[in-house]
Amino acid sequence: MSDLLERLRGRGWRMTAQRRVVAEVLNGDHVHLTADEVHARATAKLPEISRATVYNTLGEMVSLGEVIEVATDKRAKRYDPNAHRPHQHLVCDLCGQIRDVHPTGNPLTALPSDERFGFTISDVEVTYRGLCPNCAAKA
Amino acid sequence: MSDLLERLRGRGWRMTAQRRVVAEVLNGDHVHLTADEVHARATAKLPEISRATVYNTLGEMVSLGEVIEVATDKRAKRYDPNAHRPHQHLVCDLCGQIRDVHPTGNPLTALPSDERFGFTISDVEVTYRGLCPNCAAKA
DNA sequence: TCCTACAATGGACAATGTCTAAGTCAAGGA
DNA sequence: TCCTTGACTTAGACATTGTCCATTGTAGGA
């Protein structure tokens, strides 16, 4: 169980009530909240926190590399606190549920050099799509 | 060179001037326009076309499975007319340029069954990120 | 304790996408 | 060819998501 708050403290990040609350809301496994959901939950703990602060704080955590932005659906970006361990995502097309998964092998090796168009590739994102057990049962 | 317009006609899609223009704008290889760019180019050919129609038409082409929605950057969705042939995307993190690529092998085999959480997986999206030759030279 | 640089606030603004009511038109039938 | 009908298009209001900025507040060091 990674502790996002501890990791941020360890980087000498200036701590404020607002930042602590955002980090607490975002902490955990299989957590993929939108900025708006983070704001809603943060407001429950600290009513006067503003939307701009939530956006700023999320943006800073992304810049620090402690949180990853995920764009699995067409709507809002989601924020994933498990930046410390590489992983990919599994998404249910119906309910939108997201799970972290760890495929075997390195997807980079699947791309031949004549398909790289001279690019310097630094990262690969893989999104598996389908139906979760619940939605599959209903369909 | 696939002809999007021909494929749509072949499906008995009711043809209108607006739909024809949108299909013409979107046709080609390595084409990944945003809805707004499609609207801008369509307006050049047919000035009175409305934004709603562009969105509707793109949405219908996606429903028909003739066009794919791509969410490579955090901003607008992009539309890719090469739905008839499976492929993945290579994105430049600086200039946002997108290329279609064809990795070898099946990325699905990389996901062990105990990492599938009971999901029925129907599709895998792979996005390679890095710098294009131009941006790498400047950096 | 006091200072100062950094953080938070809130409200306007921007970008993207959705919806609705009313008008228009493509395509098939007489 | 002309009519009919249901599907398509339009314009603009509205919704959602995200950004910016000037002002106010505060964490942490001297």
Cβ burial of A37 (10 Å; 0-12, 13-18, 19+) is middle
A24-68 pLDDT, tens digit per residue, is: 999 988 889 999 999 999 999 999 899 999 999 999 999 999 999
Provide the token pair at B129: 């990120």
Distance CA A76 to C1' D14 in A: 18
Which candidate, B75, B76, B90, B70, places its Cα nearest to that of A124?
Answer: B90
Q: Report the residue of B99, B120, B132 to disrupt the A interface, i.e. the one with the largest count of A CBs within 10 Å.
A: B120
3-class SS of residue A102: coil
B42 contacts: CB under 8 Å, gap ≥ 6: B18, B21, B22, B25, B49, B54
* pLDDT, mean over chain B: 90
A72-82 pLDDT, tens digit per residue, is: 777 789 999 98
Residue nearest to nucleotide D18 (CA to C1'): A55
Q: What is the mean pLDDT of residues B135-139?
A: 82
A53 CB contact with strand C at below 7 Å: yes
**Tokens 């429950």 — which residue?**
A44
Q: What is the mean pLDDT of residues A113-134?
A: 92
Does residue A22 carry a pLDDT above 50?
Answer: yes
- Contact residues, chain A, for B86 at CB < 8 Å: none
**Tokens 């990325």 — which residue?**
B107
Q: What is the mean pLDDT of residues A74-95?
A: 87
Q: Are strands A120-131 and B33-34 parallel, antiparallel or unpaired?
A: unpaired
Give the start-to-end residue ranges of the domains of chain A: 4-80, 88-138
Does residue A2 carry a pLDDT above 60?
Answer: no
pTM for the complete prediction? 0.86
B127 CB contact with strand C at below 7 Å: no
- pLDDT for A1: 46
- pLDDT for B6: 85
Closest A-chain CA to B112 = A103
Distance CA A51 to C1' D20 in A: 13
- pLDDT for B84: 80
- Contact residues, chain B, for A126 at CB < 8 Å: 107, 110, 124-127
Higher pLDDT pick, A95 / B113: B113
- How far apart CA B36 and CA B77 sit, in angstroms, is 10
Q: What is the mean pLDDT of residues B24-41?
A: 92
Which candidate, A67, A133, A101, A119, places its Cα nearest to that of B107?
Answer: A101
**Domain B4-80, classified CATH 2.30.30.100, yes or no:** no
Interface contact flag, A129 B125, Cβ < 8 Å:
yes
Class of domain B88-138 as given by CATH = alpha beta
Instruction: Please state, for a pLDDT cut of 90, what percent of chain A lies above it.
Output: 60
Q: Which nucleotides of C are covered by protein (CB under 7 A)?
A: 6-11, 15-20, 25-27
Does residue A131 carry a pLDDT above 70?
Answer: yes
B9 CB contact with strand C at below 7 Å: no
Q: What is the mean pLDDT of residues A101-125?
A: 91
Interface contact flag, B74 A74, Cβ < 8 Å:
no
Higher pLDDT pick, B75 / B132: B132
